[in-house]
Amino acid sequence: MSKPLWFEIAHKYVGVKEVPGPGTHPLIASWLVNLKAWWTGDAVPWCGVFCAAVMKEAGLPYPKLYMRAKAWSDYGSLLRRDRLSPGAILVFARSGGGHVGFYAGEDDNYYYVLGGNQGNAVNISKIAKSRCIAARWPKGVSVIDGPVRMAGGQLSGGEA
């Protein structure tokens, strides 16, 4: 099974974690600088920053307001839930805002999401399907595969 470039790039960052306290992880800080963010710390939600940094590294566009998770709801092209493929951009509702990450797989009730700021780190976490408000794919890029069935995994907590 082949994976899209941006999904491969996202995978290489699994394990990156926020620095506790006033510091900022140097890689997260570099994403903020590279994306010309007006803030410099990882204390601000950074799931959209992670997605934008990955897309930029892959040579793909990203939303102007990339830092707002729900801005990804209009990104690229709509992707039907029965056509999800690794790398699909999933947007979720949450109290006080949203969350965005990349589809890695699913089970009956959850999407497994590769994202940033999930428990203050880049990882793959389970997020309830009922929270998903959008599934997107970059315009002009062919969908490579289809849905991936998974089992196990950790429940998302950091972005909730």
The pair of structure tokens assigned to 53 is 């940094």
Q: Is 156 exposed, middle or buried (0-12, 13-18, 19+ CB in 10 A)?
A: buried
* Distance (Å, whole) CA 27 – CA 33: 10
What is the pairing mode between strands 123-128 and 77-78?
unpaired
* Rounded average pLDDT over 94-118: 95
Residue 159 pLDDT greater than 90, yes or no: no
End-to-end CA distance of the chain: 31
Q: What is the pLDDT of residues 41-91, one digit of tens each?
A: 888 899 999 999 999 999 999 999 999 999 999 999 999 999 999 999 999
pLDDT value of position 95: 87
Full strand arrangement of the beta sheet holding 110-115: 77-78, 132-137, 89-94, 97-106, 110-115, 123-128, 154-155
pTM above 0.75, yes or no: yes
pLDDT for res 160: 43
Structural domains present in the chain = 5-155 (3.90.1720.10)
User: Which residue do the tokens 């892959």 mark?
Assistant: 58
Q: What digits encode the pLDDT tens for the residues 138-150?
A: 999 989 877 788 8
